[in-house]
Amino acid sequence: MFSPYDELDYRILLKLRENCRKSASDIARELDENERKVRKRIDRMVELGIGKFTVIIDPKTFGYGITVDVFLEIDPQKEKSIMETLASIPELTYIANAQESNLISIEGWFRTNEEMYVFLRERLPSVDGVSVKSYALVPRILRDLDSWLPDLESFGIKK
């Protein structure tokens, strides 16, 4: 399988994932590579859209310790307004359409069980065209998008 990335790109990404503020010179030194080469690789990966540099906020530091995944059934005729309403809810960290056009998956973070209860039983059902199909409390998240990496073959590395 052809890949525009190689083992050096992978090693650079591992370093950036540890600390995206790490300088190219520090990464080059740690990888025993030329600083200019590392800087060019980082620039190229950014140009290719491999990722973006951002701060990932941990909801727990603001007291949001209760997570729930919710599956909604929506009226497809009202999808646009429903999605706009959902996008305006600060407790939601994830909103996605499912394969069927009338299903939506969301993730919410709450400070208390009472907040979550009111959200599930009152706030969501009050959105025109939305019904809560099911939900699951999430006591522990083992892996999130900020810790994901493609497999080694995506970098042309044989296992």
Asked if residues 64 and 92 have their Cβ atoms less than 8 Å apart, the reply is: no
Question: Which residue type is seen at 21?
Answer: R
Q: Residue 38: enclosing H or E segment and its boundaries?
A: helix 35-47
Residue spans of the chain under pLDDT 70: 1
pLDDT for residue 61 = 95
Q: Looking up tokens 């959902």, which residue turns up?
A: 86
For 11-44, letters b (16+ CB in 10 Å) and e give bbbebbeeeeeeebeebbeeeebeeeebbebbee
Q: Does domain 7-55 correspond to CATH entry 1.10.10.10? A: yes
State which fold the 59-138 domain adopts.
Answer: Alpha-Beta Plaits (3.30.70)
pLDDT for residue 67 = 97
In the chain, residues under CATH classification 1.10.10.10 are 7-55
In the chain, residues under CATH classification 3.30.70.920 are 59-138
Please give the structure tokens belonging to residue 25: 């010179």
For the chain, the average pLDDT equals 93
For 109-144, letters b (16+ CB in 10 Å) and e give bbeeeebbeebbeeebeebebbebeebeeeeeeeee
Asked if residues 107 and 69 have their Cβ atoms less than 8 Å apart, the reply is: yes
> Residue 159: CA atoms inside 13 Å, Cβ hemisphere, count?
5
pLDDT for residue 159 = 74
Q: What is the pLDDT of residues 82-123, one digit of tens each?
A: 999 999 999 999 999 988 779 999 999 999 999 999 999 999
